[in-house]
Amino acid sequence: MNTPTDPSNPQPTPGSGNPPTAAASLAHDASLGTILDTLLKRPLVLIHTLCDSKPSRHWLLLALVALPAFALYGLFVGSFSGGTQILAASAKVGGGALLSALICFPSLYIFACLTGAEVSLRSLAGMLFAMLTLTGLLLLGFAPVAWVFSQSTDSVAFIGTLHLLFWTVGIWFGLRLFRHMANVLRITERAHLHVWVAVFVLVCLQMTTALRPIIGTSDHWLPKEKKFFIAHWIENLSSGARSGSEQ
């Protein structure tokens, strides 16, 4: 038997790509739990709210979750080496996520304008923090798995590959939110957003090298030698040794 729907509260059809109506927006005073639940289960509703012209506090609450989520995941990353590296990795993972977002935010606004979308800086900031929040939550979901392997292997190359795999899954789901944003704003020309996604991914990957060591250990807080992330990864994968590695 089909359940009748309430016409006063329409819901977006899953997978349809159709933007939700204004009635599907979150309340201005929605709690943090409600916002996170909507992000995970009904992202179109959250995106519609973030892209609304009315000011809201949702983006700020998302920011308050995103950065601690990355920092907490960094604790698990640093548990591989232990000692002071636990807090160092936490600061670098959280700070690296924030720096990557800030570095790429101006280009996101420019590319969004080039698509012809009527979107504000506040809305795009909300979208960016929504993406970071979703990625951070997914990484936290993988954290127990990462911890098990961190305590049972000495291979920097293996642990680095494992964390990179988790990050790839998390960032893929996070960046999908921008596709949903394009549906909500009815953006037809999306090549600009695809270019920005590629730029953001490259910046994040380079940040893993610019802030090294994150997994391994070193006598220095930050590297003194400039290096491209691909060259750095090849060196670590070829060495495969934990001692003295700077991943």
Mean pLDDT of 82-101: 92
What distance in Å separates the CA atoms of residue 228 and residue 42, rounded to the nearest whole number?
38
DSSP 207-226: HHHHT--SSS--SSSS-SS-
Q: Measure the CA–CA gap between 97 and 77, rounded to whole angstroms.
A: 14
Going by pLDDT thresholds of 50, 70 and 90, the confidence category of residue 23 is very low
- Tell whether the model's pLDDT for residue 246 goes beyond 50: no
Closest CA to 78 of 172, 197, 215: 215
The token pair at 185 is 């704003």
Q: Using one digit for the tens of pLDDT, what is the confidence trace for 134-177?
A: 999 999 999 999 999 988 888 888 888 899 999 999 999 999 99
Residue bearing the bigger pLDDT, 247 or 96: 96
b/e burial code for range 37-57 (CB count within 10 A of at least 16 → b): ebbeebbbbbbbbbbbeeebe
Number of residues that make up the chain? 247
* Residue 247 · residue 236 · CB < 8 Å: yes
d(CA 143, CA 167): 11
The pTM of this model reads 0.81
CB 25 within 8 A of CB 52: yes
Spatial distance between the Cα atoms of 119 and 244, rounded to a whole number of angstroms? 48
Q: Averaged over 39-67, what is the pLDDT?
A: 86
